[in-house]
Amino acid sequence: MAFDIKNVLGKVMGGDADFDIKELSEKAVDTIKGDENLLESFKKDPIKVVEKILNVDLPDEILEKIVEAVKAKMNLDDAKDAIGKIAGLFNKD
């Protein structure tokens, strides 16, 4: 079954609100990165954690897309941190 994600999110989140996966995933990333216990829980059961953070009951198809976006953003942030550290090694005077 296919969902119109914006339509479903708009209805679940309160009418005509323009919610999208990027916005929701960024909120989840900020919350997860700020709490070590939440990060550990996310590693074990990401859908449950995202659902709790966003305080919504969405279809699993949509939650899975949000979880994918959260994981991608967290991996990108980790990669940027690693590159910054490596660059810092070469830029020391």
What are 64-86's pLDDT values in tens digits? Answer: 988 999 998 888 766 776 787 78
- Measured at the CA of 9, the angle between CA 78 and CA 20, to 5 degrees, comes to 40
Query: pTM for this one?
Result: 0.65
**What percentage of the chain reaches a pLDDT higher than 90?**
24
Closest listed residue to residue 30, CA positions, set 73, 63, 84:
73
Report pLDDT for 9.
54
- 7 and 33 Cβ atoms separated by less than 8 Å: no
Terminal CA-to-CA distance of the chain, rounded, Å?
Answer: 58
Tokens 């550990």 appear where? 40
